[in-house]
């Protein structure tokens, strides 16, 4: 089973500060254009509504990072089969799941998980 770090508490803190006025919409809705493109074209729909604008098209984009990934290092992956294939061919790498609203540019790291042969069940 991969080890997972969930960033739900950090997300709640950012949203709390935004609702209190400590952070502006520009502070929290700052997705990079490449992240927006990845969300639009290879991201997967998630059931949650955007916590900032309420749009229903919140998307999840997964990026992989690891020393031994070679060309795949830093790349967005498009499906779970791709993640499994990388996991079978590499000892260890991290996958970062980022939620993105393509309407208002909200983005936040949801979770980070370790994958690869060292983390196989």
Q: What is the pLDDT of residues 64-87, one digit of tens each?
A: 999 888 888 999 998 889 989 988
Tally of CB atoms within 10 A around 61: 26
What is the pTM for the complete model shown? 0.90
> Among the residues of 21-111, which ranges form H helices?
25-28, 33-41, 80-89
Q: What is the mean pLDDT of residues 103-118?
A: 95
Residues 104-111, mean pLDDT to the nearest whole number = 97
State the residue range of the domain holding 109: 4-119
List, for residues 27-70, the tens digit of each pLDDT value. Answer: 999 999 999 999 999 999 999 999 999 999 899 999 999 988 88
Q: How many domains does the chain have?
A: 1
Long-range CB pairs of 15-18 (<8 Å, 24+ gap) are 15/51, 15/52, 18/52
């Amino acid at each position: 089973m991969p080890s997972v770090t969930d960033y739900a508490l950090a997300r709640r803190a950012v949203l709390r500060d935004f609702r209190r006025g400590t952070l502006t919409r520009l502070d929290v809705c700052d997705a990079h254009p490449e992240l927006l493109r990845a969300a639009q074209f290879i991201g997967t729909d998630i059931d949650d509504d955007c916590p900032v604008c309420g749009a229903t098209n919140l998307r999840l984009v997964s990026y992989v990072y690891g020393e031994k990934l070679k060309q795949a290092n830093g790349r967005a992956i498009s499906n779970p089969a791709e993640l499994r294939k990388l996991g079978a061919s590499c000892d260890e790498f991290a996958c970062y799941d980022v939620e993105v609203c393509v309407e208002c540019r909200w983005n936040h790291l949801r979770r980070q998980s370790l994958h690869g042969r060292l983390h196989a069940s």
